[in-house]
Amino acid sequence: MNSQEILAGDRGALARALTLIESARADHQAQARALLRELPPRQTQRVGVTGPPGAGKSTLIESLGLLALEQGRRVGVLAIDPSSQRTGGSILGDKTRMEELSRDSRAFVRPSPAAGALGGVARRTREAILLLEGAGYDLILVETVGVGQSEVAVSHLVDTVLLVALPGAGDDLQGMKRGLMETADVVWVNKADGDRLPAARQAANQLSLALRLLGSRTPGWQVPVLAGSALEPPQTLWDALQRHFTPEVVALRAQQGLYWLERGLEDRLLAHFLSDTARAQEWNHLRNRVQNGEISPEDALAELFKR
């Protein structure tokens, strides 16, 4: 893979490089790491967009992306889709829901399967972000799967977490507040138009109250709760995202690197452990026994390490 093609703006080369990064093969991972080392670091802004399914995250991302393009930005979108349990492939295809943004040569939209990774993001999302930044995209938007409280890993990838809620979201506060709510830097109550406007305002008030009680993960920052429709240019939301994007926030990326170092160690230790044929067979045997209710997970682990 030639880094010069990516630096020259070759979209085909960029797509192939992203496929290389997503590969689980050891040789592909080595090539991907070498490629990333060749790309220059750039000043960029990273925004994670999370929230429940059906909240309109894709539509809002497209509106934000188009607004950014008008201001001379280059936009990269990583849309993490739920994965098929049979094939591991993406089953929704967010690119089909961002047609206008996808057609613009200054934007690059990439749907990626979560492939069983927890936290609403794919296993190689961090490396994909670095690749897009190296290719010259200065605003990176990461859309999470949107499956509930596990959606917190994105906060370790981006500068700003944007939580998208719906009118009537106050009914779901108990389920949201210890997961998504604590990681949100900006909240947008979507679909706040027409008959839904009163419900959207009520949801915004309830969310504001909850966030005042929870506080913010960013010192000195009061999480704004805004309401509007993603079908219109979300200028107030864009302004809030820019206010949150400070040098102090960007400096936290070093701490995020430690988080992914630990997650990577867990993955590699498991892969190394299972690389031995006898251990892999014993592991599969114990998995079957746990699945059949013959042994508890704790006893299975104790037996595995004793052997």
Please give the helix or strand (H or E) that residue 139 lies within, else none.
strand 139-143
- Stated as kind and residue range, the H or E segment containing 141 is strand 139-143
Q: How many CB atoms lie within 10 A of CB 177?
A: 16
Distance CA 265, CA 257 (A): 12
How would residue 117 be classed by pLDDT, with cut points 50, 70 and 90? very low
Up-side HSE of residue 168: CA atoms within 13 Å toward CB?
A: 6
Type and span of the H or E element at 50: strand 45-50
pLDDT of 26 reads 84
**Over 80: is that where the pLDDT of 61 sits?**
yes
Query: Identity (one letter) of the amino acid at 174?
Result: Q
End-to-end CA gap in the chain: 43
Q: Does 228 or 53 have the greater pLDDT score?
A: 228
Strand partners, 142: 48, 78
Q: What share of the chain is helix, strand, coil (3-state, %, to 5)?
A: 50, 15, 35
How is residue 66 written in tokens? 């188009």
Beta strands in the chain (DSSP E): 45-50, 75-81, 107-113, 139-143, 160-165, 186-189, 225-227
| Alpha-carbon span 215 to 181, nearest angstrom | 10
> Is the predicted pLDDT of residue 188 greater than 90, yes or no?
yes
- Closest listed residue to residue 120, CA positions, set 160, 67, 78, 59: 78
Domain extents in the chain: 1-39, 41-246, 260-306
What pLDDT is recorded for position 171? Answer: 53
Instruction: Tell me the pLDDT band of 145, cut-offs 50, 70 and 90.
Output: confident
The pLDDT of residue 52 is 83
Concatenating the DSSP letter of every residue in 246-288 gives -HHHHTTHHHHHHHHHHHHHHHHHHHHHHTSHHHHHHHHHHHH
CATH fold label, 41-246: Rossmann fold (3.40.50)
Residue type, 54: G
Q: What is the pLDDT of residues 246-258, one digit of tens each?
A: 999 999 998 888 8
Q: What is the pLDDT of residue 174?
A: 52
Confidence label for 169 from pLDDT (cuts 50, 70 and 90): low
Average pLDDT, the chain: 85
Q: Give the pLDDT score at 11.
A: 93
Q: What is the CATH number of domain 1-39?
A: 1.20.5
- CA atoms of 68 and 88, how far apart (whole Å): 32
Number of helices (H), then strands (E), belonging to the chain: the values are 14, 7
Residue 35 tokens, joined: 């490629």
**Cα–Cα distance for residue pair 19/2, rounded to 1 Å:** 14
Per-residue pLDDT tens over the stretch 258-299? 888 888 888 888 888 888 898 899 999 999 999 999 999 999
